[in-house]
């Protein structure tokens, strides 16, 4: 028992200190509540083995899959962003093109509006000019009434719109089978011109030659016949024109010459009477004055 005496002495020495409630652990120096047993120390987690999935630098498969999914999603977002930027650029260019087109349409509309305004003014000016012209020709509106004094045997006079036409038959103007004015023709022309000059002294007068086409004859062909008929009508009109200017001394400024050939016959060429009426020279009085 002698061997345990020192230990017993130590216990007896410590008991007063514990009873005094100093609250300190004699071994750790930590203060504890009186009568309480200090909690046991937290056990440390055992070290992770080298083969564990939680080892540093070796992520789990789930994390790897998540990272791959995020990378794929990021790639898709990048592609979508590039597409959106391309679409935005296209829309911007299209918007600019539409603005240019709208500006061009606006300019064109303004130009057309200006042209329409100018056209309306021109039409108004022409209408006013036409009214003035109509008023200046107002004395000729009564040409039909003024035809009454022209009564020469063997001569047909008629109104054709706003002109007066006096027919001079070929058979009464020219010698048989020729283009030379006969004495009877000169007498006829003298009588008609005297009456026209008395009634319409200052009006323009046309000398129009017309011929008849013979069914199946040389004047009835499609090309050669038409050319011959035109030449014949020109010769007839020229002969009358020369007689008016050289013999009757009518101012050439008052006259004009027209050759119709066999075109636009007034009567049917199927009969002899119709061909005779179509083969003629007409003196045409126009509303315009030459001075």
Closest CA to 188 of 199, 174, 200, 201: 174
User: What pLDDT was estimated at residue 156?
Assistant: 87
From residue 80, how far is each of 67, 70, 94, 285 by CA, in Å? 20, 15, 21, 87
140-186: per-residue pLDDT in tens? Answer: 455 555 444 466 667 888 888 888 899 999 889 998 767 899 999 99
**Phi, psi dihedrals of residue 251, rounded to the nearest 5°:** -60, 130
Q: How confident is the model at residue 25 (pLDDT cuts 50, 70, 90)?
A: low
Q: How confident is the model at residue 135 (pLDDT cuts 50, 70, 90)?
A: very low
Give the position of tokens 């001569």.
Answer: 155
SS3 (DSSP) at 88: helix
Q: How far apart are CA 246 and CA 262, in angstroms?
A: 28
Q: What's the rounded mean pLDDT across residues 24-44?
A: 49
**Phi, psi dihedrals of residue 164, rounded to the nearest 5°:** -110, 130
User: What pLDDT was estimated at residue 147?
Assistant: 46
User: What pLDDT was estimated at residue 189?
Assistant: 95
Give the range among 33-37, 58-62, 284-288 with minimum mean pLDDT. Answer: 33-37
What six digits make up the tokens of 82?
């590039």
Q: Which residues of 13-52 are buried (b: 16+ CB within 10 A; e: fewer)?
A: eeeeeeeeeeeeeeeeeeeeeeeeeeeeeeeeeeeeeeee
Q: What's the rounded mean pLDDT across residues 43-67?
A: 63
CATH superfamily of 140-289: OmpA-like domain (3.30.1330.60)
82-131: per-residue pLDDT in tens? Answer: 999 999 989 998 888 888 888 888 888 888 888 888 877 777 776 665 55
Q: How confident is the model at residue 16 (pLDDT cuts 50, 70, 90)?
A: low
Give the range among 72-86, 147-161, 257-271 with minimum mean pLDDT. Answer: 147-161
Average pLDDT of the chain, as a whole number: 76
Q: What's the sign of the alpha-carbon dihedral 256, 259, 264, 268?
A: positive
* Chain centre distance of CA 64: 66
Report yes or no: 258 and 209 within 8 Å, Cβ to Cβ.
yes
* pLDDT: which is higher, 210 or 51: 210
Q: How far apart are CA 51 and CA 157, in angstroms?
A: 133
User: What pLDDT was estimated at residue 54?
Assistant: 46
User: What pLDDT was estimated at residue 58?
Assistant: 61
DSSP 8-state code for residue 147: T
Q: What's the rounded mean pLDDT across residues 59-74?
A: 90
DSSP 8-state code for residue 8: H
């Amino acid at each position: 028992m002698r061997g345990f005496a020192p230990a017993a002495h130590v216990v007896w020495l410590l008991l007063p200190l514990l009873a005094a409630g100093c609250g300190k652990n004699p071994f750790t120096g930590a203060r504890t509540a009186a009568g309480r047993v200090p909690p046991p120390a937290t056990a440390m987690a055992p070290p992770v083995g080298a083969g564990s999935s939680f080892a540093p630098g070796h992520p789990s498969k789930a994390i790897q899959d998540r990272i791959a999914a995020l990378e794929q999603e990021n790639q898709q977002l990048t592609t979508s962003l590039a597409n959106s930027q391309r679409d935005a650029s296209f829309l911007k260019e299209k918007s600019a093109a539409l603005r240019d087109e709208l500006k061009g349409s606006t300019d064109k509309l303004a130009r057309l509006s200006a042209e329409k305004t100018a056209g309306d003014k021109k039409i108004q000016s022409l209408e006013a000019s036409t009214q003035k012209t109509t008023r200046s020709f107002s004395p000729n509106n009564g040409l039909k009434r003024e035809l009454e004094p022209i009564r020469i045997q063997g001569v047909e006079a008629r109104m054709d719109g706003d002109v007066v036409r006096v027919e001079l038959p070929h058979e009464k103007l020219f010698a048989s089978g020729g283009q030379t004015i006969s004495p009877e023709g000169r007498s006829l022309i003298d009588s008609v011109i005297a009456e026209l000059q008395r009634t319409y002294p200052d009006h323009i007068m046309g000398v129009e030659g017309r011929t008849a086409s013979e069914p199946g004859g040389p004047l009835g062909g499609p090309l050669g016949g038409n050319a011959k008929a035109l030449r014949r009508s020109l010769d007839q009109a020229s002969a009358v024109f020369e007689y008016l200017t050289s013999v009757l001394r009518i101012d050439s400024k008052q006259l004009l010459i027209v050759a119709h050939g066999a075109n636009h016959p007034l009567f049917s060429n199927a009969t002899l009477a119709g061909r005779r009426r179509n083969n003629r020279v007409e003196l045409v009085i126009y509303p315009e004055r030459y001075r």
